[in-house]
């Protein structure tokens, strides 16, 4: 399992072709970074957590998180540039670091009613 620590849930996605589901977590600066990737954020921190989907044993047709596949991290470095690391697991070998950063920054935050 993944513990987001002080990061907050931002968004999620599902890939039925790969049978995976992902959750994106981040801090307040990460939300600003998603709104405007060209704007420098001093302390942005994003983590994309990807799981294998599995059938929910309690509900027919439902899927739940299964095995943890990967944890990717994007943060703002001292020079203001984005730094990318894979903290756990592997990402698709065909994906470049730049492509992974672009995919993560394309996530749109979920809007909760106030």
Does residue 3 form part of some domain? no
Task: Note the pLDDT tens digit of each residue in 12-67.
Answer: 999 989 899 999 999 988 888 888 777 666 789 999 999 998 887 788 877 778 88
Give the mean pLDDT of 77-87: 84
* Mean of pLDDT over the chain: 87
Q: How far apart are CA 35 and CA 108, in angstroms?
A: 8
Tell me which residue range forms the domain holding 18.
Answer: 8-105
Does residue 91 form part of some domain? yes
Q: How far apart are CA 78 and CA 43, in angstroms?
A: 9
Does residue 1 form part of some domain? no
**How far, CA to CA in Å, does 86 sit from each of 44, 61, 101?**
16, 32, 11
Does residue 32 form part of some domain? yes
Q: Which residue is it, tokens 């730049």?
A: 98
Does residue 112 form part of some domain? no
Q: How far apart are CA 114 and CA 55, in angstroms?
A: 32
Q: Which residue is it, tokens 């809007």?
A: 111
For the chain, the domain total comes to 1
At residue 101, does pLDDT exceed 80?
A: yes
Does residue 61 form part of some domain? yes
């Amino acid at each position: 399992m993944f513990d987001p620590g002080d990061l907050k849930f931002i968004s999620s996605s599902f890939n039925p072709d790969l049978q995976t589901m992902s959750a994106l977590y981040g801090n307040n600066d990460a939300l600003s970074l998603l709104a405007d990737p060209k704007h420098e954020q001093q302390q942005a921190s994003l983590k994309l957590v990807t799981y294998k989907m599995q059938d929910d044993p309690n509900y027919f047709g439902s899927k739940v998180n299964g095995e943890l596949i990967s944890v990717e991290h994007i943060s703002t470095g001292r020079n203001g540039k984005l730094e990318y690391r894979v903290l756990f697991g592997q990402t698709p070998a065909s994906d470049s670091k730049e492509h992974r950063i672009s995919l993560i920054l394309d996530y749109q935050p979920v809007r909760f009613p106030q």
